[in-house]
Amino acid sequence: MLTGMQIAVIGGDARQLEVVRKLTELDAKLLLVGFEQLDHAFTGAVKEKMEDINFNELDSVILPVRGTDTNGKVETIFSSEEVVLSEEMIKKTPAHCIFYSGISNDYLDGIFKKADRKLELLFERDDVAIYNSIPTVEGAIMMAIQHTDFTIHGSNVSVLGLGRVGMSVARSFQALGAKVKVGARKSEDIARICEMALTPFHLNDIAAEMKNVDICINTIPFPIITAKVIANMPVHTLIIDLASKPGGTDFRYAEKRGIKALLAPSLPGIVAPKTAGQILANALGLLIQGEFMKRKGKKI
């Protein structure tokens, strides 16, 4: 339980409501900034303005999945007010106060370094990334169905990368009856692809491997689907690029060749905001309880 803890939740979208629900269930006292247009009230949570927050009384601060923009502005879809997180605010918090966000950027890295506080990035955690791969795959399947006139079953699907998302994508398309090939660069990943009864190829051979691909799903955040690779694809190929912006595809050349290439970011928040919020809420519940117990010198 988080009885006695004071946590500020600053901005965010529908996913943050699951976080608020979870933390109020755990009995934390919550201050909600950027939620004044939200009709729903949560017992134990008070809506506040940023200027009324006493940062020196906070034990934790939860930022939206994207953190802030590169000027410190926090996304607030339940508010029309501008909310900005500054170095001065962070410096006012007690030394034990931990901030949580999904990802970071240069602005956040800079102010947290100067303020000497910890910013914990949820999307860098394996557990969160693996849980999150579930709605990501469902989004990729949705896109494959929407943008093709053939079934996934029986089609040739190439997945690039065998990380946390790539593995889930490959397994799910295999389960739907696709003939799945996976491209990777490490010998242990090639071995794992074989073990999964999928067809492996080394990324050095990517161009040659694209000759009969129907759907190519990229999870590698690196320019991997180059013009040379696209030149070898049949013209009906659908590219679904799941890698973080700007993706790994030469979109200009794909368009020139008449190949449909879609950059598909943030699928969990689009196809399953409630589940995506619960994934974050569960991770945050465990992390904050762990920190709370550590401060009290107790074992979890």
- Could you give the 3-state DSSP secondary structure of residue 179? strand
Counting contacts by CB under 6 A, is residue 221 touching ligand NAP?
yes
- By CB under 6 A, the residues from 262 to 281 that bind ligand NAP are 264-268
The answer to whether residue 219 forms part of the interface with ligand NAP (CB under 6 A) is yes
Buried/exposed code over 142-168 (b: 16+ C-beta within 10 A; e: otherwise): ebbeeebeeebeebbbbbbbbbbbbbb
**With binding defined as CB under 6 A, does residue 244 bind ligand NAP?**
yes
Of 229, 227, 199, 204, whose CA–CA distance to 216 is shortest?
A: 229
With contacts defined by CB under 6 A, name the span among 39-47, 179-187, 191-199, 282-290 that binds ligand NAP.
179-187
HSE-CB at 247 with a 13 A cutoff on CA atoms is: 18
Question: Nearest 5°: CA angle at 153, between 148 and 158?
Answer: 70
Between 154 and 223, name the residue whose CB sits nearer to ligand NAP.
223
Q: How far is the C-alpha of 218 from the C-alpha of 254, rounded, in Å? A: 14
Closest distance of CB 229 from ligand NAP, Å = 13
Selected from 44, 163, 273, 285, the binder of ligand NAP by CB under 6 A is: 163
**Closer residue to ligand NAP (CB): 226 or 289:** 226
**150: contact with ligand NAP by CB under 6 A:** no
Which C-beta is closer to ligand NAP: that of 185 or that of 260? 185
Cα–Cα dist 262/248, whole Å: 11
Q: Contact between 147 and ligand NAP (CB under 6 A)?
A: no
Site for ligand NAP in 187-216 (CB under 6 A): 203
Regarding 165 and contact with ligand NAP (CB under 6 A), the answer is: yes
260 binds ligand NAP (CB under 6 A): no
The smaller minimum CB distance to ligand NAP, of residues 115 and 203, is found at 203
136 part of the interface to ligand NAP, by CB under 6 A: yes
C-beta separation of 270 from 139 below 8 A = yes
Count the site residues for ligand NAP by CB under 6 A: 25
Please tell me the chain's helix, strand, coil percentages from 3-state DSSP, rounded to the nearest 5: 40, 20, 40
The two three-digit tokens of residue 20, written as one number: 């608020």
Q: Angle CA(90)–CA(93)–CA(97) in degrees, nearest 5?
A: 100
26 vs 217, which CB is nearer to ligand NAP?
217
Edge-to-edge, what's the strand order for the sheet holding 199-202?
A: 199-202, 179-184, 156-160, 215-218, 238-241, 260-263
Min CB(224)–ligand NAP separation in Å? 6
Applying CB under 6 A, the residues found at the interface with ligand NAP are 129, 132, 136, 161-166, 184-186, 203, 219-222, 242-244, 264-268
